[in-house]
Amino acid sequence: MDVLLVAVPDGRRLALERLQSPAARRLLERARIRSPDDVAGYYADRFAALRPAAHGAPLNRDDRPIVEYRAPRDLVAVGRTGPGSAPRVLGLVPFATTRPTGPLFAAWSEEGWYETRARLLIARGDLVRAGATAGGARAAGLARLADRLDQEVAAGARRQRGLAAIERARQLLAAGREQEGQGELRHAAELDPANGRTWLMLADRLRLSGAFVAAESAITRGSASADPEVPGRGRRGRGHAGDEPGATARGGEALPRGGATESAAGQELRARGARLERRGDRAAAREAIRRGLASLPGDPTLVALQAELGVDGR
């Protein structure tokens, strides 16, 4: 975690129009700054706010270059201490909750400054400071903007909880604990129903389990997402889950009709059975094939694996 502090003399302004040039945008992209407007999100505070943090520290001078000598140690002791290091390091940097007076951010509208700052912080997962920025907007008399930013902070918190549940689901699925993993994916979708990717992940697992009706429902929820990649993935998933006009319920599950759809579903179920067999869990592999044959009787890919594993199909 590298923190680079850049000081600007009093009376200067950030030339937003220059930052919007193609050459400047390329440099910003290299620094992982998505938009010139987002520069407002990196503002710390006035220089005086740094004095408490630097109190008692030795000066970095030509005859005593403290920063240079400490850099190798800090790379290990501070910058590479794990996922919690970034908040700890950034917590040492002052944070202004209100827009600074003077010409520095004169090119930003007052609303634009608070909005871009809060949204950048939300995207970085720094919800505490994003909430403080919303509070600063409210103190500046921008009540409607503050209300909107509060809602976005709350949505960011839901997204964080949902992503944590997805990570737990991945660990469970990797350990072969399918039902628990699916349950955690459902929990993630409940925590953050606006995340279409979660619904599509759940649909994939349901489809592999032969739960085609439930998979179709999850795809429908995921396809309503605002993420531009999700609707396309949802349309592709429907080819496997079974389109409504060609699906018949049996035991609460959809039964795909038509050679292409049926074969795709069978191939996925066969692949799951083969994975279980490779792991040495032949009992689970047989059960997966039995369930598949119950939903897709006569599917050629499942029949072939049935013969390999000696499954009776009942």
- In tens, the pLDDT along 197-250 reads 899 999 999 988 888 888 888 888 888 776 655 655 555 555 444 433 333 333
Span of 29-43, 161-175, 293-307 with lowest mean pLDDT: 293-307
Highest mean pLDDT among 24-38, 53-67, 82-96, 238-252: 24-38
pTM assigned to the model: 0.65
**11 domain residue, yes or no:** no
308, pLDDT greater than 70:
no
Same domain, 21 and 153: yes
- Average pLDDT over the chain reads 79
Same domain, 29 and 96: yes
Same domain, 153 and 207: no
3-state helix, strand, coil in the chain (%, to 5): 65, 5, 30
- Confidence tier at 272 by pLDDT (50, 70, 90): low
- Confidence tier at 284 by pLDDT (50, 70, 90): confident
Distance CA 192, CA 184 (A): 12
Distance CA 82, CA 180 (A): 28
Structure tokens at 91: 């917590």
pLDDT number for residue 258: 36
Q: Give me the phi and psi of 11, to 5 degrees please.
A: 90, -5
307, pLDDT greater than 90:
no
**3-state class (DSSP) for residue 6:** coil
Q: Give me the phi and psi of 72, to 5 degrees please.
A: -60, -40
Q: How far is CA 232 from the centre of its chain?
A: 18
**78 domain residue, yes or no:** yes
Same domain, 137 and 239: no
pLDDT number for residue 299: 63
Question: Exposure pattern of 19-51 as b/e (b: 16+ CB <10 Å)?
Answer: beeeeeeeebeeeebebbbbbbbebbeeeeebe
Same domain, 137 and 30: yes
**66 domain residue, yes or no:** yes
pLDDT number for residue 66: 85
Tally of domains in the chain: 3
Q: What is the pLDDT of residues 126-170, one digit of tens each?
A: 899 999 999 999 999 999 999 999 999 999 999 999 999 999 999
User: What percent of the chain stands above pLDDT 90?
Assistant: 42
pLDDT number for residue 263: 44
15, pLDDT greater than 70:
yes
pLDDT number for residue 232: 53
**3-state class (DSSP) for residue 250:** strand
Same domain, 25 and 153: yes
- Residue ranges making up the domain that contains 300: 262-309
**Which carries the bigger pLDDT value, residue 125 or residue 296?**
125
**268 domain residue, yes or no:** yes
Same domain, 142 and 31: yes
Same domain, 106 and 239: no
DSSP 244-265: GGGEEEETTEEEE-SHHHHHHH
- Confidence tier at 314 by pLDDT (50, 70, 90): very low
Domain termination residue (choose one: 106, 129, 157)? 157
**Which carries the bigger pLDDT value, residue 49 or residue 2?**
49
**177 domain residue, yes or no:** no
pLDDT number for residue 223: 82
pLDDT number for residue 53: 79
Same domain, 234 and 269: no
**95 domain residue, yes or no:** yes
Same domain, 137 and 25: yes
Same domain, 203 and 302: no
Distance CA 35, CA 120 (A): 10
- Confidence tier at 266 by pLDDT (50, 70, 90): low
Span of 64-73, 77-86, 138-147, 221-230 with lowest mean pLDDT: 77-86
**197 domain residue, yes or no:** yes
Same domain, 221 and 274: no
Determine the angle formed by the axes of helices 212-223 and 196-208, rounding to 10 degrees: 170
CB 228 within 8 A of CB 252: no
**3 domain residue, yes or no:** no
Distance CA 125, CA 95 (A): 15
